[in-house]
Structure 1
Amino acid sequence: MQHLEALARRFSTNNLIGCALKVATILENDGSIVQLNPLQDFAYGELDGKTTARIKALDRFMQGASIGARLSPVIHREMWEKWILLAGLGAITCLMRGTVGEIEATEGGTSFVMNLLAEIVAIVAAVGETPSTDFVKEAQQQLTRKGSPLASSMFRDLLSGRDVEVEQILGDLICRGEQVGLKAPLLSAAAVHLRVYRNKIAASR
């Protein structure tokens, strides 16, 4: 969410429109981006939820492309919800070095996932917008699904020896939680794990 805050300071919140894109991709060594499956969701809307002339015009324009575009009256909440899923999947798979299904199949795996996800949801509810009950339920199911090959792009980058966005995805969230007195030991452990990894790859260059 830092980019929204930076833009708001420079141009004011009135000049911003929210967006949340969900798509599974992988970065190849040659720099090309490959979409892993056809599923995609591209939501956008006014941050205050209003239906303005400009957002209706944008929606009409976006409907001309088959990219799963949709106008959302709760885009700000959806952006926070995406961060929950992004941070949760990234922290879980990177710290445990496995896919969702591999973690679920391990003793204590599901409990670990549920506890880490609860830390993230608590931070977002305190500093952002409380996620919907349906979203949290779906996230819990998605991150504990038996046999699921799901893994985060951050985990795929880690396995490939690439840099990872630990501060943007995990560090910023931890910092926001600390500012309101919330501790997140499991999320913090994942962040430290990835910082050690980053230091190692930086030293090898």
Structure 2
Amino acid sequence: MRYLVLGAGGTGGYFGGRLAESGADVTFLVREGRRKSLSEHGLRIESQFGNAQIEVKTAVADEVTPTYDTVILTCKAYDLDAAIDAIAPAVAPNGHVLPFLNGIAHIDVLNKKFGRHRVLGGTAKIQATLMPNGAIRQFNDWRTLTFGEQSGEMTERVRVLAALFEGAKGVEVLAVADIGQRMWEKLVHLSTAATMTCLMRANVGEIIRTPYGRELFLDQLRCGAAIAAANGYAPSSAFMKSWEEAFSQQDSQYSTSMLRDIERGGQTEVEHILGFMLGKAEEAKIPCNTLLLAYTNVKAFEQRRAAGRLS
């Protein structure tokens, strides 16, 4: 079995690197600059589960052929169209795509391009980033991949993928029959965290230590849960309890990639996470004022960024 990973950044580089480290036939589809770095230094991982420096195979866009059984997609949501153009020539006739993007809207786009039967659902729980020196640094013990068929079947390809990841160091894997539910629950968690951290320009602990931070956090969590429920995916009580606890920890250093994007003056996934949830809230007539404020806040940041007025 051949595996292609689009990109070698925080998420794709970590999980793809762990697969390569375990001996799987993995190729990274990258740009020339990243290819040069990987060729000279290998794929480097800095992690509490073991540092690694791995020699990896790479390809650039004009080199791929339709010979990859699984194409793992870990791009930013705003790069989805370009990512599809890059991977389309690489998917084998009986191959499939396994996306680990934030949000949910990308599934419909991938289904339209490749066919629903060739697209798995998936989520990645990890805090890792590509450092300026080219290494991938993991910040905490999050290392979980969850995936499954959109139909809910437990197919052979899902079992094979699960066994493959289970053999990799520093990876937890869940093959599930309810990936739609899992993806909606992640979106509730992520949209809550992004709403609060971007609006306040602070991590979870810094917000919780303010007089009303915890109350606002939990109110937004309940808002997100109501949106999910209106779309047929009410979060479980265990999920709600877990994130109520996580969003109550005064010493938490948990931040979000959207806030990190803002802090470095970069492009954000605001439309794919906050905008998507706001649209669903409006459809269901669910008032979400904090979400609306956060969305407007990030959109105003985009206006300043476009005008070159971030300094």
Q: TM-score normalised to the size of structure 1?
A: 0.91
Call closer, same or farther: CA 1:32–1:185 in 2, change over 3 Å.
farther
Percent of paired sites with the same residue: 31
Q: Which residue in 1 is equivalent to 2:160?
A: 57
Name the residue aligned to 1:186. Answer: 290
Q: Distance in 2 between matches of 1:91 and 1:154?
A: 9
Per-residue deviation, residues 103-137 of structure 1 (Å, max 9, x unmatched): 11111111111111111111111124111110011
* Mapped contact 1:127–1:177 kept (Cα < 8 A): no
Between the two structures, name the one with larger relative contact order (CA 8 Å, sep ≥ 6).
1
Q: Deviations over 1:164-191 (max 9, x none)?
A: 2111110011112212222311101100
CA contact (8 A) 2:165 2:172 kept: no
| Whole-Å separation in 2 of the counterparts to 1:62 and 1:104 | 35
What is the deviation of 1:27?
4.5
Provide the secondary structure at the position in 2 that maps to 1:107. Answer: coil
Q: In the alignment, is the contact (CA less than 8 A) between 2:154 and 2:176 conserved in 1?
A: no
The more displaced of 193-202 and 171-180 is 171-180
For residue 157 of structure 1, what is the aligned residue in structure 2? 261
Residue number in structure 1 paired with 2:230: 126
Structure 1: state its 5+ residue gaps: none
Residue in 2 aligned with 1:91?
Answer: 195
Q: Report what 2:305 is aligned to.
A: 201
Q: Corresponding residue for 2:123?
A: 20
Within-5 A mapping of 1:61-80: 61-66=164-169, 67-80=171-184
Distance 1:62 1:160, change over 3 A: same
Alignment correspondent of 2:96: none
In structure 1, distance between residues paired with 2:222 and 2:125:
21
Shift of 1:56: 2.0
Which residue matches 2:241? 137
3-state secondary structure, aligned to 1:168: helix
- 1:7 aligned to 2:110? yes
Structure 2 residue aligned with 1:37: 140
Verify the 8 A CA contact 1:63 1:69 in the aligned structure 2. Answer: yes
Which amino acid letter does the alignment assign opposite residue 2 of structure 1?
A
More deviation, 9-18/109-118: 9-18
Tell which structure's C-alpha radius of gyration is larger. 2
More strand by percentage: 2
Q: In the alignment, is the contact (CA less than 8 A) between 1:18 and 1:76 conserved in 2?
A: yes
Greater helix percent: which structure? 1
Q: Given the superposition, is the C-alpha separation of residues 27 and 201 from structure 1 closer, same or farther in structure 2, using an over 3 Å criterion?
A: farther
1:197: Cα distance to partner? 0.7
Q: 1:159: how far off?
A: 1.8
2:299 is matched by which residue type in structure 1?
R
> Normalized against structure 2, the TM-score is what?
0.61
Q: How much is the aligned-residue C-alpha RMSD, in angstroms?
A: 1.9
Partner of 2:280, secondary structure, is: helix
Q: How many Å apart are 1:5 and its aligned residue?
A: 1.0
Deviations 1:126-168 (A, max 9, x none): 1241111100111111112122111112112222222221111
**After the TM superposition, which of the residue ranges 176-185 and 79-88 deviates more from structure 2?**
176-185
Please give the alpha-carbon distance, in whole angstroms, between the structure 2 residues aligned to 1:91 and 1:33: 26
SS at match of 2:147: strand
Alpha-carbon separation, structure 2, partners of 1:157 and 1:96: 14
Flag structure 2 segments of 5+ consecutive residues without an equivalent: 1-103
